[in-house]
Amino acid sequence: MNPNYRYLLISLLCWLPIRSFAQRVYEGQVVNKVTEAPLKNATVALLKAKLAVATDDQGYYKLVVNKPVTNDTLQFSFVGYDTYLLPAANYQPKMFIPLTPANNRLKQVDIAGNKIKTLTLYKFNVSDIKDIRFELMTKDGLVRGGYYTTPVYTNGTFAKQFEAPQVNVKLNTIDLGRRDRDIPTSPEDYPLATSSKYMRFLIHVILPDSAGALGKTIFTKEVYISNGALKITIDLKDKQIIIPTTKFFIAVEWLPIRINEVIYLNVGRKTAGIKKDGSSQIEETAKYSILYQPFLVKFESAVGAVGWQSVDNRHWFKFDFRSPHPSRKHPNHDVALSATIVY
Partner 1 sequence: MKKIVVLFCLFPFLADAQGKLNKFHVVDSLSGKAVPSVSVTLVRARLSINTEKDGIFMIPGNLASLRDTIILYAQNYKPNQLLTRQLNGRDTLRLTKFAIDFKSKPAKYNNDTLLNSYRKQDIVHYAGVNTGTAKFEYLQLAQQFYTSKPGTILKSIKLNRLAFGLDVSEYTWTHLVHLDVTKFRIRIYDIDPITHGPGRDLCNKVIEESKSVGSQVSINLKKYNIIIPNTSFFVAIEWIRDFYNAGYSVAYDQDGEITRDINYRPALGISAITGKALNIWALNFNREWKPFTYFMPFGTDLAMSAIIAY
Q: Residue numbers of the site for partner 1 (CB under 8 A)?
A: 5, 8, 12, 15-16, 19, 25, 155-156, 188-192, 194-198, 256-259, 261, 263, 265-268, 270-276, 281, 284-290, 292, 311-312
Q: For residue 327, give the DSSP letter.
A: P
CB hemisphere CA count around 95 (13 angstroms): 17
Beta carbon of residue 303, minimum distance to partner 1 (angstroms, whole number): 31
**Cis before 324? omega within 30:** no
Burial environment of residue 334 by CB neighbours within 10 A (0 to 12, 13 to 18, 19 or more): buried
What span, in angstroms and rounded, lies between the C-alpha atoms of 293 and 89?
31
Beta carbon of residue 301, minimum distance to partner 1 (angstroms, whole number): 29
Q: Name which of 124 and 316 has its Cβ closer to partner 1.
A: 316
Beta carbon of residue 174, minimum distance to partner 1 (angstroms, whole number): 25
Q: Name which of 135 and 284 has its Cβ closer to partner 1.
A: 284
Q: Name which of 184 and 208 has its Cβ closer to partner 1.
A: 184
Beta carbon of residue 53, minimum distance to partner 1 (angstroms, whole number): 17
Q: Name which of 131 and 235 has its Cβ closer to partner 1.
A: 131
Tell me the C-alpha to C-alpha distance, in Å, between residue 22 and each of 67, 87, 158, 226.
Answer: 7, 18, 42, 25
Q: Name which of 1 and 211 has its Cβ closer to partner 1.
A: 1
Q: Cβ(62)–Cβ(227) under 8 Å?
A: yes
Beta carbon of residue 309, minimum distance to partner 1 (angstroms, whole number): 11
**CA 108 from centre of chain:** 31
